Structure 1
Amino acid sequence: MFQIGTGDHAQSLMLRRTGSSLRQTVSRLTAELASGQNSDKPRALGGNLLELANVEHGLALSAQHATSARLAVTFLEAQQNVADQIGQITERVSLDLRTSAQASGKLAMADAGERAKAGFEDAIGLLGTKIAGRHVFSGVAGDQRPFATPDDILGAVAASVPPNASPTDIKDHVTAWFAEGGPFESVAYTGADAAANATALGDGHSVRFDVTGADKGIRDSLAGLALGALAHTLEPGLDLSDMRNLLSAGANSLSASADQRIAMQARIGAQEARAADGLARAEARAASLQIIRTELLEADPYETATALESATQRLDALYLVTARLSRLSLTEYLR
C-alpha cells in the first residue's frame, strides 16, 4: 500500500485546510440561498455597518415599546374588567335591596343586607387583581394589596356608627367614612396615594395609570355596598321602618355610584386606547425596519446560486485530487 511520506505531510494539511474552507463556503452559501440573506454582514455592506446598526437599534427599541404597550393594554384591560364586574355587583345588589325593602319582616331585610355584605367581599376580592405580579389598583405600590380584609373594613365602619343613629345618620356616617380624608384612607385602602409610573411608548407618547383603589368611582361603589351590609350588622338595633329606610338608602347610594364609576372607566378607556395605538405604532415601525434590514442584507439569488455551484465543483475536484494523491483505489491497496 502507498504510504504518505514526511515530505507529503504539508501537502496533506493544505488539502485538509482547503477542504474545510470549501465545505464552510458551501454551507454558508446554501444557508444564504435558503434564507435570501447574506450571513457575512460586513461583506454584504462593503464594511459600512452604520446604517445596519441604526436599523437594528430601531428594531430593539420598537420591540421594547411593543412589549411595554402590550403590558399596559393588559393592565388597563384588567382594571376595566374589574370595574365592569363591580358595576354588575352594584346593579344586582341595588335591585335586591330595593326589592327587599318592601318585605314585611326584618329577617328578609337582614338577609338582603347579608347579600350586600357578600357583594362587598366580592368587590374587594376583585380589586386585589394582579397582573405580572403587581396589584392593578395599588398605584405605585404594586407589591402591596390595595385593601384590608372585607371583615376589617366593615367592622371598622360598623364600630364607628354613632349610638341610636337614624338611617339618615347611618347614611351620612358611611358617606363621610368613605370620603376623601376619611377613615377609608387609613383603614380600608392600603395601596399608595400616587398612581403607578407612566409607561413610555416611543415618539414622545406615553400611557398613564391614574386609577387606584382610592378613586371616587370605587369609593362610591364600596360605600353603597357597605351601607347595604349594615342592614345585616345593625339589624338588632333597628326597627322595621329603619331597616326599610336603610335598605332604600343603600339601593339609592348604589344607583348613584354608577356615574362616578362610569367616569372612571372612561378615563381607563382613554389610556387603554393610547396603549393600543402605541402598540400599533411600534409594530408598524418594526415591520418597516425589518423590511429595510432585509433589503440591506439581501443576497442575490442568482449570484449566490452561481457561487454555490462553483464552490461545490471546486470541492468535488478537491476530493478527486485528494483521492488520486493518496492512491485510494482497490488496485493500489491490493499491491
Structure 2
Amino acid sequence: MAFTPLSDLGRHFANQQANVQMRERLAILTAEVASGEAHDLPAQLGTRANQFAAHDYRLGMIASYSKAGSLMATQLAAAQSALENIDLQRSTISTQLIAISPQATQVELSAGAEAARNGFAQLISALNTQIGGVTLFAGTASGAPATASADVMLSAIETYIGGAVTVSDVQNGIAEWFADIFPTDPAEGYQGNTQNMGRQIDKDLSVALDVRADDPVVMQLLQDLATAAIADRLGFSGVAQAQLLNKAGEGLITQASGLTEVRARVGLAEQTLAQSQTRLAAEKTSLGTARNDLAQVDTFEAATALQAVSDQLELHYTLTARLAALTLTNYLR
C-alpha cells in the first residue's frame, strides 16, 4: 500500500487535532482523579442508572426536608423560649397579686394593677414574637401580629364592662369578652387564623407548632391578667380592687399546669423533629456512600492513565518543537 505524505498544512492540522484531543483527555482524567467520579456517568452506570437516579432524588429530598426541619427547629425553640418567659411572668405576678390583702393601701393596689398591666403587655409581646418575619403564635397567618396591642385590648375590655358594679360583673364581663370578642375581632383581639403553622420534615411526617394566641390556656392567662390590670380603673372600693387582684392571682396560679401542658406539646414537637433530623442525617450518609460507589472510578487506573496522557502530551510538544525547527539548510548539513 502506497504511503501518501501529508502536506505541511495537513501535518499542522493533524498536530493541532491531536493536541486538542490529548488536552481534553488530560482535563477529563484530571477531574476524575480529583473528584473520584466518572466523567461519563451513563457509561459508568450502565444498567444501574435508575438506582443512581433514585439515590440522587432521595438525597435532594433529604436536603429539602433538612432545611425545612432546621427552620422549624429554630421556630419551635423560639416558641419554647417565649412560653418560658410567659410562665416566668405568670409565676412572678401571681405571687405579688395573691399577697395583696383587703386592707392594702391604694398605692399597693395600684402597684399590683400596674404589675399586671406590665405582665399583660409582656405576654402580648411574647405572643407576637417573630422569627425571620414569621409570627409564631398566629397559626398559618404568620405574616402579621398574632394579636392587637395590649393597650387596644385593655381599652376594649374596659369599654365592654363599663356597666359593671360588682366583682362578679367584672369577672363575667371579661370572660365573655375573651369568649366572644377576642377570637373573632382582629381589630381588638386575635389576628391569626385557626390553622396551626407546620412543616413537612420527611415524606410521611410533618411537625406543627400547635400553640396559638387563641389557645384556651393562653386566653385564660390573658383574662386573669386583664382582670388585675383594670382593677384600679373601675372606681371600685379598695376591698373590691383587692378581691379582683386576688382572684386574678389565684387564676394565674391555677394556670401553671395548663401552661406546663402547652410547653410539653411544643417539647414533643421538638423531640419528633430532632429524631427525624437524626434519621435523615444517617440516611444521607448511607445514600451518599451508595451513590458515590456507583459513580466512582478506579482512582489508581485513572491516575495511571493521567500519567500516560501527560507523558504523551509532553512528547507531542517535544516532537512538534523539533519539527518546527527543521530547515532545508539544517537538512542538507
What displacement does 1:63 show? 0.9
What displacement does 1:273 show? 1.7
Larger RCO (CA within 8 A; separation ≥ 6): 1
Instruction: Specify the SS of the correspondent of 1:49.
Output: helix
Q: For 2:85 and 2:184, how far apart are their aligned partners in 1?
A: 23
State the match for 1:161 in structure 2. Answer: 161
State the match for 2:221 in structure 1. Answer: 221
State the match for 1:56 in structure 2. Answer: 56
Aligned partners of 1:130 and 1:136 also within 8 Å: yes
State the match for 1:3 in structure 2. Answer: none
Q: For 1:260 and 1:294, how far apart are their aligned partners in 2?
A: 51
Aligned partners of 1:101 and 1:243 also within 8 Å: no
Q: For 2:259 and 2:184, how far apart are their aligned partners in 1?
A: 18
Aligned partners of 1:37 and 1:298 also within 8 Å: yes
Give aligned-pair identity as a percent: 27
State the match for 2:3 in structure 1. Answer: none
What displacement does 1:102 show? 6.7
Amino acid at match of 1:254: L
Q: For 2:192 and 2:53, how far apart are their aligned partners in 1?
A: 43
Instruction: Specify the SS of the correspondent of 1:38.
Output: coil
State the match for 1:207 in structure 2. Answer: 207
Amino acid at match of 1:49: A
State the match for 2:190 in structure 1. Answer: 189
What displacement does 1:247 show? 1.3
- Match status 1:299 vs 2:300: no
Q: For 1:64 and 1:38, how far apart are their aligned partners in 2?
A: 26
Is the alpha carbon distance of 1:164 and 1:58 closer, same or farther for their aligned partners in structure 2, counting shifts above 3 Å?
closer
Q: For 1:154 and 1:268, how far apart are their aligned partners in 2?
A: 29
State the match for 2:248 in structure 1. Answer: 250
Aligned partners of 2:23 and 2:313 also within 8 Å: yes
Instruction: Specify the SS of the correspondent of 2:184.
Output: helix
Instruction: Specify the SS of the correspondent of 1:54.
Output: helix
Moved more, 307-316 or 255-264: 255-264
For residues 4-43 of structure 1, give each alpha carbon's deviation from its aligned partner in whole angstroms, at most 9, with x where no partner exists: xx94223222222222222232233223223322233123
What displacement does 1:152 show? 0.8
Give the total of aligned pairs. 323
* Unmatched segments (≥5 aa) in structure 1: 1-5
Q: For 1:50 and 1:262, how far apart are their aligned partners in 2?
A: 50
* Aligned pairs for 1:104-183 within 5 A: 104-179=104-179, 181-183=180-182
State the match for 2:273 in structure 1. Answer: 275
Q: For 1:229 and 1:39, how far apart are their aligned partners in 2?
A: 72
* Unmatched segments (≥5 aa) in structure 2: 1-5
